[in-house]
């Protein structure tokens, strides 16, 4: 019989003859599932702290959280200062420390990385699904996802709208137009012509491999025509490779690699010839007095899987992608019998480039050396070039390197006729969000005033061994967050004692690897104020000039050296072994499965009183 309601809050079970269900679970089972649950949430961080502490230069979260200010926080602050002039503090605050710690905590977990790789393997194998960096197209074609998104998103003339969801602490980001026009104004004032060469990216030439078989080739961004018109009005010359590439493709020439972001040797060599012919038509070309040289080419077969396969981040030995085989052509100087030199500071032409210039030239990229865009442009023109090419740095880094040369304004006035700026077109049309994700920034740079500095050449440097105190470090990016897998950074040391060789200055600029194959080096964890012994060679003789370089050293008169001993130093992730990771992942997965089973058990094993 229905009971009369009681005063206060009523219990429907009592008032309406309903009986509560009870879950009957043995104590041993509760203990088992509790142990599995606690293991799931406690083992990964415990494992990481213990294992990181057992390897050299390991990043131990429990220790690093109390290490304030940490080197990571200092690097984070330096990056903020470089990007935003409003940031004037020189010592990291607590927010810098916490932000850098959290970022490292999220990106540096080897257990999480291994789990992501396993998941990505099955998504790629069964569903043909890519990730944030790589898009899988038809017939085994891979595409750099930001390059595809750059064609359809907001651009330089139609910026992203403001939103309240945007982090107010973000440093301001400027689209490319102002920086490009400012650079042109400085060059025009010293009689140097700026020639922009926007290199089309793969989806512009092969849209049918993404599914759109009716698209007109080359695809262009909605802002492209108006953007280029603005540049041409200011006197900038545009050498557009897009229509020529479309023609070569129709002729059956493979213009782009299937599994890599970049062009094939055939596409690159044809582009070099196209650009050389364009330069010959410029009014100043006939007056050049550069010493003519003769060059030969040597066939160099190369096999490599491509950077887009690497960006899929699949487990080692589990990838189903086979290497692509291409025939590159090394350019040889007939006079010396050696590969062509691409660092002639007195050349009338400066070539600024990115990874499209470095592929087939920079050994680290996996496609051989001595056969890149700069070498073939040199061969077509018949004289050597002044080349500054840095992976991922064509928007600002290469201009900053050029501008920091001692007396660069006078030097260029006396020796240069043109700056050829070859840049992946996607960088010109990335929206703010995509640009931030891919570390693309557009800083204004100023050419260095003062007298031309004679003798500022690599040939004047000799190897030296010395003891020095670290007084400054350029910021180091998180290797898990950037598109490149190897990078350098510059530091300044106060010279304490010269052990071998000769060095006169009281300070020395040293370039060191920040990370190699995404593994942080010993040099990256060095502490400002500590003494180190350095074995140094001239940086210009290393062949590493094309690697991404974080360089915030303000003294342009310091000649860069490279520390030999730091080149092969492993980082904090290098000590993790496959068996250990697999064991930890398996235990974590078992704990997760236990939670699921326990949830179902609690739901269905019920009976009434």
HSE toward the beta carbon, residue 389, CA cutoff 13 A: 27
Does 69 sit behind a cis peptide bond, omega within 30 degrees of 0 on the bond before it?
yes
The Cα 457–Cα 173 span in angstroms is 35
pLDDT for residue 318: 65
Same domain, 59 and 204: no
Q: What is the mean pLDDT of residues 133-157?
A: 91
Query: What does 517-571 look like in DSSP terms, one character per residue?
Result: TTEE-TGGG--TT-EEEEEEEEGGGTT-TTSEEE-----TTSPEEEEGGGTT---
Counted domains in the chain: 2
Confidence band (pLDDT; 50, 70, 90) for 69?
Answer: confident
Tell me what pLDDT residue 18 has. 57
Shared domain check, 310 and 248: yes
Burial per residue of 111-125, b for 16 or more beta-carbon CB atoms within 10 angstroms, e otherwise: bbbbbebbebbeebe
Same domain? 117 vs 215 = no
Please indicate, yes or no, whether residues 54 and 202 belong to a single structural domain of this protein: no
Looking at residue 528, its pLDDT comes to 85
- pLDDT tens column, 381-433: 999 999 999 988 899 999 998 998 888 899 899 999 999 999 999 999 998 88
Residues 191 and 96 in one domain: no
Mean pLDDT of 577-589: 49
Given a contact cutoff of 8 angstroms between Cβ atoms, the answer to whether 536 and 463 are in contact is yes
Cis peptide preceding 218, ω within 30 of 0: yes
394 located within any domain: yes
Residues 102 and 206 in one domain: no
Confirm whether 147 is domain-assigned: yes
Rounded (10°) CA dihedral 96, 98, 102, 105: 110
pLDDT interval class at 573 (50, 70, 90) = very low
238 assigned to some structural domain: yes
pLDDT at 494: 94
Count the Cβ atoms, other than its own, within 10 Å of residue 325: 9
At residue 13, the pLDDT reads 59
Do 188 and 94 lie in one domain? The reply is no
Judge whether 424 lies within some domain. yes
Of the residues 437, 454, 469, which one is the last residue of a structural domain?
437
Domain assignment of residue 474, yes or no? no
Domain boundary among 437, 457, 478: 437
Give the confidence band of 578 by pLDDT, cuts at 50, 70, 90: very low
3-state secondary structure 381-399: HCCCCEEEECCCCCCCHHH
The residue range of the domain holding 115 is 45-123
How many Å apart are CA 199 and CA 467, to the nearest integer?
A: 45
pLDDT at 596 exceeding the cut of 60: no
Classified as helix, coil or strand, 36 is helix
User: Binning pLDDT at 50, 70 and 90, where does residue 178 land?
Assistant: very high
For residues 494 and 505, give the distance between their C-alpha atoms in angstroms, rounded to a whole number: 9
pLDDT in tens, 286-316: 999 888 889 999 999 999 999 999 999 888 7
Residue 467 lies in a domain: no
In a domain, 365, yes or no: yes
Which pLDDT belongs to residue 576?
Answer: 38
* Total count of residues recorded for the chain: 609
Residues 312 and 178 in one domain: yes
Task: Please say whether the beta carbons of 148 and 130 come within 8 A.
Answer: no
Going by pLDDT thresholds of 50, 70 and 90, the confidence category of residue 283 is very high
Does one domain contain both 229 and 118? no
Q: Which of 86-95, 391-400, 488-497 has the lowest mean pLDDT?
A: 86-95
Residue 405 domain-assigned (yes or no): yes
Percent of the chain topping pLDDT 90: 43
Least confident stretch, 344-358, 412-426, 431-445, 585-599: 585-599
pLDDT at 541 over 60: yes
Choose one of 394, 419, 437: the last residue of a domain.
437
Same domain for 107 and 244, yes or no, is no
Both 256 and 392 in one domain: the answer is: yes
Max mean pLDDT among 156-170, 272-286, 497-511, 580-594 falls in 272-286
Residues 265 and 309 in one domain: yes
| pLDDT-based confidence at residue 455 (cuts at 50, 70, 90) | very low
Rounded Cα distance between 533 and 469, Å, is: 9
Query: Tell me, what's the pLDDT at 157?
Result: 85
């Amino acid at each position: 019989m229905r009971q009369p309601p009681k005063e206060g809050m009523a219990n429907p079970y009592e008032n309406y003859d309903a009986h509560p269900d009870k879950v009957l679970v043995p104590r041993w089972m509760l203990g088992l599932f509790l142990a599995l649950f606690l293991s799931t949430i406690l083992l990964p961080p415990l494992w990481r702290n213990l294992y990181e502490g057992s390897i050299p230069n390991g990043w131990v979260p429990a220790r690093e959280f109390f290490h304030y200010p940490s080197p990571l926080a200092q690097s984070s602050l330096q990056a903020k200062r470089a990007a935003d002039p409003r940031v004037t503090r020189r010592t990291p605050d607590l927010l810098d420390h916490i932000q850098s710690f959290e970022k490292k905590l999220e990106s540096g977990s080897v257990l999480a990385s291994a789990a992501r790789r396993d998941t990505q393997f099955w998504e790629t194998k069964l569903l043909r699904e890519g990730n944030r960096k790589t898009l899988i197209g038809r017939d085994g074609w891979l595409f750099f996802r930001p390059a595809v998104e750059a064609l359809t998103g907001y651009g330089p003339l139609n910026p992203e709208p403001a939103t309240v969801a945007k982090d107010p602490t973000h440093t301001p980001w400027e689209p490319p137009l102002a920086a490009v026009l400012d650079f042109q104004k400085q060059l025009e004032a010293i009689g140097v012509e700026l020639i922009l060469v926007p290199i089309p990216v793969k989806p512009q030439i092969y849209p049918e491999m993404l599914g759109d078989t009716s698209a007109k080739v080359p695809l262009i961004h909605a802002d492209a025509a108006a953007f280029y018109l603005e540049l041409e009005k200011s006197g900038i010359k545009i050498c557009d490779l897009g229509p020529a590439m479309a023609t070569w493709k129709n002729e059956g020439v493979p213009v782009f690699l299937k599994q890599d972001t970049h062009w094939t040797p055939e596409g690159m060599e044809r582009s070099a010839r196209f650009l050389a012919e364009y330069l010959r038509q410029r009014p100043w070309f006939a007056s050049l007095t550069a010493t003519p040289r003769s060059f030969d080419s040597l066939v160099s077969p190369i096999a490599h899987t491509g950077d887009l396969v690497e960006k899929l981040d699949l487990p080692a030995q589990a990838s189903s992608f086979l290497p692509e085989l291409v025939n590159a052509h090394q350019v040889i100087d007939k006079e010396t019998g050696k590969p062509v030199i691409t660092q002639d500071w007195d050349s009338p032409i400066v070539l600024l480039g990115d990874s499209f210039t470095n592929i087939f030239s920079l050994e680290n990229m996996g496609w051989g050396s001595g056969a890149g865009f700069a070498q073939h442009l040199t061969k077509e023109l018949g004289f050597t070039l002044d080349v500054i090419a840095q992976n991922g740095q064509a928007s600002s880094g290469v201009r900053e390197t050029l501008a920091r040369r001692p007396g660069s304004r006078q030097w260029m006035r006396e020796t240069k006729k043109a700056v050829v700026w070859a840049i992946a077109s996607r960088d010109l049309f990335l929206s703010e969000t995509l640009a931030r994700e891919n570390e693309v920034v557009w800083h204004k740079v100023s050419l260095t005033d003062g007298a031309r500095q004679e003798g500022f050449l690599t040939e004047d440097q000799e190897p030296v061994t010395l003891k020095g105190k670290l007084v400054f470090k350029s910021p180091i990016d998180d290797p898990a967050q950037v598109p490149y897998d190897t990078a350098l950074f510059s530091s300044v040391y106060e010279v304490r004692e010269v052990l071998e060789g000769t060095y006169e200055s009281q300070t020395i600029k040293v370039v060191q690897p920040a990370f190699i194959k995404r593994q942080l080096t010993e040099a990256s964890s060095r502490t400002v104020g500590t003494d180190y012994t350095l074995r140094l060679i001239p940086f210009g003789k290393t062949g590493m000039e094309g690697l991404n370089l974080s360089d915030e050293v303000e003294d342009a008169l310091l000649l860069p050296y490279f520390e030999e001993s730091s080149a092969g130093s492993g980082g904090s992730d290098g000590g993790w072994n496959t068996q250990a990771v697999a064991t930890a992942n398996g235990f974590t997965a078992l704990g997760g499965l236990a939670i699921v089973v326990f949830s179902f058990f609690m739901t269905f094993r019920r009976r009434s009183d």
